[in-house]
Chains A and B, each alone.
Chain A
């Protein structure tokens, strides 16, 4: 039961951060390219990498489990989004902006993966 509450609260916090960040980023950089979603996905991927590296030390303990559920499942999961990413890519495709769509897919996938690796390397040692 406690883990459900923890996941809910984490998800609410993460989603709120996504809402704020994406509003700020699209005000700053405009809507010609989905910078907002790219930004929150990068931040969330970096965070989940940090957590994955750090929580390994507490693997198996109740606290490790709860921390993982709050930060990784809740906050990072709520902060990042695949649905807006795909919808925005589809919008680019239907506006025949093929290169922008491809850049969005490749950059999101590769950079987020790199950011997970970066976060993991910082905390795992």
Chain B
């Protein structure tokens, strides 16, 4: 039951944030794929960052419940494949081929790139987080273990 609540809460919050960011980006710029592109790329970075800092040699503990809330719920609800496909479909209907290819290629490349960035910065990020937590609350900072410091 607890699991269900965590996934629902994370998913609802992620979806709400996607809706709000989507409206803002659409107001700023009219290119149809842009809003979903921004959302998917940032969500891919977040899921990769959370996933890799919690794996060896990252060692920041993210427990199964936090994973349900943040990775399954929030990141999953925040990013979307259906709108991405719908945007490509709408561009095809208008025979706007540059938008079709632009949407597909940019989404795939930038999202994999965002995951790669999250993977690459996992060690320095864990190191920095350890330093910050040492500085702010030395007593609790044992939650960050085995950094390469």
- Residues of chain A having any CB pair with chain B under 8 Å: 3-4, 7-16, 18-19, 41, 44-45, 47-49, 52, 69, 72-74, 76-87, 89-90, 93-94, 105, 108-109, 112-113, 115-117, 120
Q: Give the interface SS of chain B, mostly helix, strand, loop or mixed.
A: helix
Q: Which of B80, B84, B104, B107 has the most CB of A within 10 A?
A: B80
Given A16-B4, A16-B11, A87-B48; A82-B80 close (CB under 8 Å): yes
> What 1/0 mask marks residues of chain B from 36 to 56 whose CB sits below 8 Å from any chain A CB?
000010011011100100000
Q: Give the interface SS of chain A, mostly helix, strand, loop or mixed.
A: helix
Interface hits, B90-133 → A, CB 8 Å: 90, 92, 104, 107-108, 111-112, 114-116, 119
* Partner among A4, A49, A84 whose Cβ is within 8 Å of the Cβ of B47: A84
Q: CA A45 – CA B81 in complex, angstroms?
A: 7
Contact B77 A9 (CB under 8 A): no
Contact A82 B73 (CB under 8 A): no
Contact B76 A83 (CB under 8 A): yes
7 closest residue pairs by CB, A with B: A15-B11, A11-B15, A12-B12, A80-B81, A12-B8, A83-B47, A82-B79
Interface residues on B, range: 35 or more
Chain A residue at smallest Cβ distance from B113: A86
Contact B18 A73 (CB under 8 A): yes
- Residues of chain B having any CB pair with chain A under 8 Å: 3-4, 7-16, 18-19, 22, 40, 43-44, 46-48, 51, 68, 72-73, 75-86, 88-90, 92, 104, 107-108, 111-112, 114-116, 119
Chain A residue at smallest Cβ distance from B39: A82
Contact B77 A82 (CB under 8 A): no
CB distance from A81 to the nearest CB of B (A): 4
